[in-house]
Structure 1
Amino acid sequence: MDAELFAESIEYERLTQSVYQAILRREGQNIEVLHNQDVEGKSGVAHQVDVLWRFTVAGVNHMVLIECKNYASALTLEKVRNFFAILHDIGNCSGVMVTRTGYQSGVKQFAKFYGIGLKLLRQPIPDDWDGKIKDIQLNLTFNGVVSRDDRLVKVRVKFAAKDAQEEKLLKELQVKGRLSIPSPPDLVFWSNDKKVITNELRWWLPSKLAVAGKAVGGPYKQAIPLEEHYLLFNVGEADEILAKVAELEAEYYVEEVDNSEILIRGEELVEAILKDFQSGEVEYVKHKGK
């Protein structure tokens, strides 16, 4: 085998490994699929196995062995017989043959009798998409909270003073113009030990507003009850006060804020086609990260 064919064979084995790893993970199996392993048979002879994984059922160890043949022509019965001999020598295992093109006459009957899986693994071709949706164009429209001069978000803060003295002090500072906080978009909530516990109001508030299901327009009003949220007045001043907030009352408008188009192409998502040669069942193996 020349260097180029050898490299292609290794790449095909790696593809098989990644495909079955993806299938096992999708099925919730935390099993590692291994490549190019030596397994000793009952005869004492070590057999090179392209891909395998091990698992335990009811205290009994099992293996699945995969023989990969990156051939341009149909696989012969001789190749399947040779693989069967390896499976028989190793014992207590299941076998799967994977090839790119197909299998010759007699292979299917032999493999079915001895429980050997026959698979086709290759990149998808146009015929694989017959009767299936290949490309999808999605037009996405989102409703969100409006924030502009003619439709401002208005928030009313209801405090829960810890006592009459605190309530009186807040009112006195307000009358004197000495009750200061950051501008509303930059406002954050604090814990009772003076630690910031939320993002700025500009980011925090929209996530709390019930926009889903509301028609474009408004104004809509919503009460947002709070627990252990505080505002810090006169930060850094002698008369700094940490006041508990009981509730926010928000008034807001809803509008269509985004309209985007996404084109999903099947060939960009599917890495390979894994087809069972005996049943005809097809799996579309996604690219990593898709």
Structure 2
Amino acid sequence: MDANLYAEAIEYELLTQAIYQAILAEEGNRTVSVQHNVSIAGRSGVEHQVDVYWEFKQAGVTHKVLIECKNYASNLTLEKARNFFAVVHDIGNCVGIMVTKTGYQSGAAAFAKHYGLALKLLRKPTAADWKGRIRKVQINMVPRVPVSTEERPITCHLAVRPASDQQEARLKAAAAKNPALVNADPSMQFLNKDGEPVTEELHWWIPRQLNVMDRPDGGPYKQPVELKDHYVQVDLGEGQELVQVIGVVLEFYVETLDASQVIVDAGETVCAILKDFESGEWQHVRSES
């Protein structure tokens, strides 16, 4: 995965977190904590990664809000809306919000409206948005990211648990012919026991598991990740079959990117514009001072 794309995706998630924290504070909900990159178990027992999350109690009932952030330059597809709805449905008793910069395809919009997903557009203001306002406030950013190059790739080694002696024999025979079988492909997704995806494609999922902040530049570093009820679909000589993955070992390098200046707000700390996709209503959002 390209390190710059990953850094931009995380920056967009953090912007979304900050925006909703500011909205809640403006509405008087200063005790609610908006969290980033949270793992939540669904009713199925499967753990789901949620980009931005908060919860609150009302009349003794806990309400949950899940936000899926997509830092895409094109309109989001129906597939993305369906995948997120599956997470919302599995977790239950929650509100699902999708946030992106550009827009949504008609199928995604119709699906989201039918199933109660809120669709939002979130972007930094353009020059036209600043008419009558004080303009530039900048901050220095020094991103620390996992390296992903041909010379120093991120690798993912699978630890599997065969379902039977027969599957174990097939697995050993297949791995002897193709040692790369126990390494994850970047486009692979982990599946549940019914063969349905439970994670994003691994080139997005893997970087979220990596701890880079406490490591100096360089490597390689190894980080184990324990998994539960995760499977991959592989051909072991008798057609495609599911093999349980009980964990992975991630190997990676760390790099500090060049510092940069980014505009995050303007005027009286206005940092973004949030638009409801269905109603078209715009909101100038202020971050906390």
> How much does 1:119 deviate?
0.3
Contact residue 74 and residue 102 of structure 1 kept, 8 A: yes
Partner AA of 2:50 in structure 1: V
Contact residue 65 and residue 95 of structure 1 kept, 8 A: yes
Residue 277 of structure 1 corresponds to which residue in structure 2? 277
Q: Does 1:21 align with 2:21?
A: yes
Gap change, CA 1:63 and 1:126, over 3 Å in 2: same
Gap change, CA 1:42 and 1:73, over 3 Å in 2: same
Residue 178 of structure 1 corresponds to which residue in structure 2? none
Residue 94 of structure 1 corresponds to which residue in structure 2? 95
Return the index of the structure with the highest Cα Rg: 1
Q: Does 1:125 align with 2:98?
A: no
Partner AA of 1:46 in structure 2: E
Give the Cα–Cα distance (whole angstroms) in 2 for the partners of residues 134 and 2 of structure 1: 36
The SS at the match of 1:50 is strand
> How much does 1:269 deviate?
4.0
1:248-267 equivalent positions in 2, closer than 5 A: none
Residue 142 of structure 1 corresponds to which residue in structure 2? none
Give the Cα–Cα distance (whole angstroms) in 2 for the partners of residues 136 and 103 of structure 1: 30
The SS at the match of 1:119 is strand
Give the Cα–Cα distance (whole angstroms) in 2 for the partners of residues 47 and 78 of structure 1: 17
Residue 213 of structure 1 corresponds to which residue in structure 2? none
Partner AA of 2:131 in structure 1: K
Residue 54 of structure 1 corresponds to which residue in structure 2? 55
Contact residue 19 and residue 287 of structure 2 kept, 8 A: no
| Percent sequence identity over aligned pairs | 62
Equivalent residue pairs, number: 158
Give the Cα–Cα distance (whole angstroms) in 1 for the partners of residues 91 and 133 of structure 2: 47
> How much does 1:268 deviate?
7.3
> How much does 1:103 deviate?
0.5
Moved over 2 A (4+): 265-270, 286-289
Partner AA of 1:54 in structure 2: E
The SS at the match of 2:106 is coil
Gaps of 5+ in 1: 138-264
> How much does 1:70 deviate?
0.3
TM-score by length of 1: 0.52
The SS at the match of 2:103 is coil
Residue 75 of structure 2 corresponds to which residue in structure 1? 74
Gaps of 5+ in 2: 135-264
* CA deviation string 1:171-206 (max 9, x = no partner): xxxxxxxxxxxxxxxxxxxxxxxxxxxxxxxxxxxx
The SS at the match of 1:135 is coil
Contact residue 74 and residue 104 of structure 1 kept, 8 A: yes
TM-score by length of 2: 0.52
Contact residue 80 and residue 107 of structure 1 kept, 8 A: yes
> How much does 1:267 deviate?
5.9
Q: Does 1:4 align with 2:4?
A: yes
Give the Cα–Cα distance (whole angstroms) in 1 for the partners of residues 105 and 80 of structure 2: 10
The SS at the match of 1:73 is coil
Give the Cα–Cα distance (whole angstroms) in 2 for the partners of residues 95 and 33 of structure 1: 14
Give the Cα–Cα distance (whole angstroms) in 2 for the partners of residues 28 and 288 of structure 1: 12
Root-mean-square deviation over aligned CA pairs: 1.9
Give the Cα–Cα distance (whole angstroms) in 2 for the partners of residues 286 and 116 of structure 1: 24
Contact residue 135 and residue 266 of structure 1 kept, 8 A: no
1:150-169 equivalent positions in 2, closer than 5 A: none
1:204-243 equivalent positions in 2, closer than 5 A: none
Residue 146 of structure 1 corresponds to which residue in structure 2? none
> How much does 1:88 deviate?
0.7
> How much does 1:36 deviate?
0.3
Gap change, CA 1:124 and 1:136, over 3 Å in 2: closer
1:135 pairs with one of 125, 132, 146: 132
> How much does 1:83 deviate?
0.1
> How much does 1:111 deviate?
0.9
Contact residue 33 and residue 53 of structure 1 kept, 8 A: yes
Contact residue 124 and residue 267 of structure 1 kept, 8 A: no
Contact residue 134 and residue 266 of structure 1 kept, 8 A: no
Q: Does 1:38 align with 2:39?
A: yes
Contact residue 97 and residue 118 of structure 2 kept, 8 A: yes
1:182-193 equivalent positions in 2, closer than 5 A: none
> How much does 1:286 deviate?
2.2
